[in-house]
Chain A
């Protein structure tokens, strides 16, 4: 099987393995990969493991034929790939969150004409505030986004919320939901055609996993 699959490390990793095992892909070598980034299964696929946000890059460029990635990353990166199936796991939502108490959003717009937003998801945040008719100053931060509004860097954050625990621990409240996200199976545009029977068969089996 000459197939390269890009698997996200981190939160989606375990569920991805389970889903791939569910459709009959040999995933045990991937479990025992240690620190190796590429795992080649004899007579099976080659797995490439990357950060979740890099998955679309590898698939779009054809370095991988298939990939598993959250819808949040697809909406942020807008890669030119086929989104073949909703894998159901990795459920979360992209939300606009501000500190507990009165929501500062309306007042910020009213008094300063702009709401200050800290986020890792610059494009999603920009689109959301444009679509809702508000002007936003977006500050890109790379980690611990929750910190930004607490120290006055921004009025709030646009970030992924799964359980809401991190938000609560930092005294933040979800104000507006932007979209919901689950893991998706994506394919390179050329691989999707050159390996059509294999792809179609895999997609069908992934879909059969869904309740």
Chain B
């Protein structure tokens, strides 16, 4: 018996079928992003820990850390927004506003015990840097909606909230710092019960008190924002801004997102609108993002920014199986020894050729495993093609004119 061959906790291999589906999803998203002018960038897998740690007050938290040969602490990127912000703030500092970049890469975080979430997370996202207004928020939301539809999730739902709006309400009703801290803990922990307890403790009364207590449960369309603005005038500006985002998203021709003031993000760098997208079949949001105006300054070039990242693995669960495996291309027996020239000619015509040695034992098994429909063998001056799905043998005089061309 051989020894087991384990992988580190939380990671997995991706086999050909899944890889093709993930590639197709990534390409669909990238195409939609590109139509808005987002250009792909790539950042290194490892970064210096003290650089990435600048992004958050408490450092980046849960991450794989290692040492380089000089004893400096390195971190495997646990998030992509932070490295991209670093890249834009340094390498693209002179690029005129606005800067639009996209990425499709993996973030790595140590798996939490008992959680299904993997350690490696494939993320395809965009960052729109240098525009502070609601038009940028709206563009990112619209690009996300269009990208999700392009990826084959027509019924995705997008919800937006705003950490700036929540702050404005909490401060507007005069909650003291301790109460504010308790409310943020409740909100980040998604406990509406604890939030309500903390809200009640602020002593806010009347409609302002009612709005405060219900804030994370408030959701719907623009009317929600009207109610908050009327009850807490200090938050009227943020409400108007979100209202404007809704209006602008509609102009992009996509369905306006749901307003959900309970939507927050775990990373503290978010400063304005926050975005989540959901799809049936995915256990967690398929996309998350928001505005993070203060992040770039921590890397030396202050610029407002807003972005969103699609979790490809979750999205993959939400889309159906890709259309039947390709039946294009053939398995050519002898294609890698006696019939190399025939294989090359066929490939030049654009047909995929899976080449096998002339003495291949079970070409049909290879064809089935690889998802190819026809196994072709030399037969005198012509060819015999076996259809591994139908089972029939077809005589083909010219390799360039078979059912695969």
Contact = CB atoms under 8 A, between A and B. Distances in A.
Interface of A: 57, 60-62, 77, 80-86, 184, 188-190, 193-194, 196, 200, 203
Interface string B263-301: 000000000000010111011110000000000000000
Nearest to A182: B193
B283 A193 contact: no
Contact of A86 (B190, B193, B282): B193
Contact of B193 (A62, A84, A188): A84
6 contacts: A86-B193, A188-B283, A189-B283, A193-B157, A193-B276, A196-B260
Nearest to B158: A193
Interface in B333-348: none
B283 A83 contact: no
Please provide the 4 A-B residue pairs with the shortest distance between their CB atoms, ordered closest to farther: A62-B283, A83-B191, A190-B278, A193-B278
B245 interface: no
A200 B194 contact: no
Nearest to A85: B193
Nearest to A61: B283
Contact of A189 (B157, B194, B285): B285
B225 to A, nearest CB: 16
Contact of B258 (A62, A189, A196): A196
A83 B280 contact: no
Contact of A193 (B114, B191, B258): B258
Contacts, number: 59
Among B114, B189, B192: residue with most chain A CB under 10 A: B192
Contact of A84 (B157, B192, B258, B285): B192
A86 B217 CA distance: 14
A60 B114 CA distance: 11
B219 interface: yes
A184 B192 CA distance: 10
B219 A85 contact: no
B219 A189 contact: no
A60 B193 contact: no
A203 B216 CA distance: 13
B278 to A, nearest CB: 5
Contacts of B282: 62, 190
A180 B100 CA distance: 50
Contact of A184 (B116, B189, B193, B284): B193
A203 B258 contact: no
A203 B258 CA distance: 19
Contacts of A184: 193
A81 B116 CA distance: 13
B141 interface: no
B159 interface: yes
A184 B157 CA distance: 26
A123 to B, nearest CB: 10
Interface string B157-188: 10100000000000000000000000000000
Contacts of B193: 83-86, 184
